[in-house]
Structure 1
Amino acid sequence: MIEVDALTKRYGDKLAVHDLSFTVRPGQVTGFLGPNGAGKSTTMRMIVGLDRPTSGRATVNGIPYAAHPAPLRQAGALLEAKSVHKGRSARAHLVALAQTHGLPASRADELLDLVGLSSVAHKRAGTFSLGMSQRLGVAAALVGDPGTILLDEPVNGLDPDGVLWIRTLLKDLAAEGCTVLVSSHLMSEMAVTAEHLVIIGRGRLLADTTVDELIARVVVDTVVVRTSRTPALRDLLTGAGATVETDEDGRLLVGGLPAERIGELAATAGLPLYEVVPQRASLEQAYMELTRDTVEYEGGRS
């Protein structure tokens, strides 16, 4: 388990993380989200002892990460995919990490097979693509078979097969009881991978909630309707004050009327309905709504 308590980090006049508190519990994938510059990477670095907090505390399984006698057995982290000695082979990198904790060299071979790098085990890490480096970084995070995993943007550079692989791996680790904290800017991926979300903006906590709870906060005033009498139903609903658009599948996207009222009007007019579904917000919509006022780096429009 990861516990962050009133964590604050200041760089000169810059307050990167401010009084941040949250808990990452075992048995689920927790997504760590926020705009660029929100303080996600800084927070993860403080959790594993790479940055010292200005104030506050972060612990892994009850004590600071660096205080564990065998830290790689407690938590593994991928914070920067390219932070590997470029002249060292993938296998040599993993063997060196394993030996710091008295693990056999065979552990490196097991992990190379797990992440799909066995065929390039003896190639220099400096020749690896970003996707290959991500896979090596995941292997390094798993060297000590830890109960806690922290991954910062692990799907960057991965092809679709790689994205599916990391998604499955994270879910499997959580199912085994691991504590999994993963940051990402891909809301579509978080929607199918994470169960819980910790969202920060400008170093402050914005939400500590489940995916479903966050999405439920956003009201989408649109009902998807399908009928064999599209023109007649469109005219009927428009006459009742609704806004009506047609999607590429010929379904009506109705705004301004609840599903119950749409059904009543259609029944009165004798128009068949094959589908009446209130539209649900996406995770991306909910995230954008929540973080709108905390975006630090925003492009202009031409």
Structure 2
Amino acid sequence: MIRAHELTKTYGGKTVVQDLSFTVRPGTVTGFLGPNGAGKSTTMRMLLGLDAPTHGRATVNGRAYAGHRAPLTQVGALLEARAIHPGRSARDHLLALALTHGLPRRRVAEVLELTGLSGVADRRVKGFSLGMGQRLGIASALLGDPATLILDEPVNGLDPEGVLWIRTLLKSLAAEGRTVLVSSHLMSEMALTADHLVVIGRGRLLADTTVDDLVRGSGGSSVRVVTPQATDLRRALLAERPRGQITAVAPDTLEVRGADSTHIGRTAAAHGIALYELTPHTASLEEAFMNLTQDAVDYQGATAA
């Protein structure tokens, strides 16, 4: 289990993480999300004892990371996959890590096989592609067979097969009862991988909830309706539900919020209104995320004219 309690970090008078508290529980994949500059990397570094908090406390499996006698067997971490001596082979890199914790050589062979690197285990890391380096970083995180994993952008550089592999791996590790915290900018992948979400913006907690609840609470559900009697249908729907939101996106097309397809269809039938299209739309995680963080983005591109 991972606990962050009122974490605050200030650099040179600038506060990048402020009063941040959350818990990552075993048995779930928790997505750690936020815009660029939100403080995700700083928070992960504080969880791992690489940065000391200005205020607050972070624990992993009941104690500070540095308090574990054999950290690799408690917490597997991936913050920078290419932070590896380029002259070493993948096998030697993992062996060096294993020796620091008294792990057997067979465990090195196991994680090389698990991550698909057995065939290149004796190649120097400097010749690895971005995806291969990422797999080696994940192998390092898994080396101690830890109960907790903290992974920063683990799918970065992976091909589609690799993305599917890491998604399946993370889900299987959580199913074993492990604690998994993973950050990513790929909302579509988080929607498929994560069960729970912790979302921050400008160093503050914005949401600590499930994926389904975040999407449902974003108010992004709507129904697209195409009818030659758009004005009549709008009038009929508002008569029944005055607080509904109905937007005319074209002369014959309405976007309806606050009523589902069944209700709209029944109302149209009761008033003899022909419908050419009735298409429900549920907000994606990306849309929900954008709505939640729109006021916490430091750098926004201009919209094309």
Q: Find the counterpart in structure 1 of residue 242 from structure 2.
A: none
Structure 1 letter corresponding to 2:256? G
Q: CA deviation at 1:37?
A: 0.6
What is the distance in 2 between the residues matched to 1:161 and 1:76?
23
1:188-240 CA distances to partner (integer Å, 9 max, x unpaired)?
A: 00001101000001111111111111111122363156xxxxxxx61133432
Structure 2 residue 14 is matched with structure 1 residue 14: yes
2:233 to 237, 240, 251: 240
TM-score (normalizing by structure 1): 0.89
- Give the superposition deviation at 1:183: 0.2
> What residue identity is the alignment partner of 1:288?
M
Which residue in the other structure is 2:241 paired with? none
In structure 1, C-alpha distance between the alignment counterparts of 2:66 and 2:221, rounded to whole Å: 50
SS in 1 for 2:227: helix
8 Å CA contact retained: 1:8, 1:53 = yes
Q: Deviations over 1:146-171 (max 9, x none)?
A: 00001001111111111101100000
Quick check: 1:269 aligned with 2:272? yes
Q: Which deviations, in whole Å up to 9, do the C-alpha atoms of 1:5-63 show, x marking residues without a partner?
A: 01111111221111110000000000000000111011101111111111111001110
| Alpha-carbon distance in 2 for matches of 1:135, 1:262 | 51
The amino acid that maps onto 1:191 is: A
* Separation in 2, partners of 1:209, 1:291: 15
Q: Which amino acid aligns with 1:171?
A: K
CA contact 2:78–2:141 (8 Å) conserved in 1 = yes
1:24 & 1:115 partners in 2: Cα distance? 25
After superposition, residues 1-302 of structure 1 pair within 5 angstroms as 1-220=1-220, 222-224=222-224, 234-241=227-234, 254-255=255-256, 258=259, 259=261, 260-266=263-269, 268-269=271-272, 278-301=280-303
SS for the counterpart of 1:42 is helix
8 Å contact kept, 2:78–2:151: yes
Residues 130, 240 of structure 1: alpha-carbon distance in 2 compared, 3 angstrom cutoff: same
Q: Is the 8 A contact 1:77 1:141 kept in 2?
A: yes
The residue type equivalent to 1:156 in the other structure is N
For normalisation by structure 2, the TM-score amounts to 0.89
> Residues 56 and 223 from structure 1, CA distance in 2 versus in 1: closer, same or farther, beyond 3 angstroms?
same
Superposed CA deviations along residues 245-288 of structure 1, whole A, max 9, x for unmatched, are 79xxxxx7743683313332135538589x85542111111110
CA distance in 1, matches of 2:257, 2:43: 43
In structure 1, distance between residues paired with 2:12 and 2:39:
15
Query: Structure 2: any 5+ residue segments left out of the alignment?
Result: 235-245
Residues in 1 aligned to 2:288 and 2:279: alpha-carbon distance in whole angstroms: 19
CA contact (8 A) 1:214 1:286 kept: yes
Question: How many Å separate the matches in 1 of 2:228 and 2:274?
Answer: 12
Percent identical = 63
Q: Is the 8 A contact 1:95 1:107 kept in 2?
A: no
- Answer whether contact 2:268 2:275 (CA < 8 A) is retained: no
- SS state of the match for residue 171, structure 2? helix
> RMSD over aligned Cα, in angstroms?
2.1
Q: For 2:161, what is the secondary structure of its paired residue?
A: helix
1:177 is displaced (CA, Å) by 0.4
Q: Paired residues, what number? A: 289
Q: Any conservation in 1 of the 2:89–2:125 contact (CA below 8 Å)? A: yes
Distance in 1 (alpha carbons) for counterparts of 2:271 and 2:280: 20
Task: Report the Cα distance in structure 1 between the residues aligned to 2:159 and 2:70, rounded to whole angstroms.
Answer: 34
Per the alignment, residue 230 of structure 1 pairs with none
Tell me if structure 1 keeps the 8 A contact 2:227–2:274.
Answer: no
Unaligned runs of 5+ in 1: 226-232, 247-251
Distance in 2 (CA, whole Å) between partners of 1:224 and 1:300 is 28
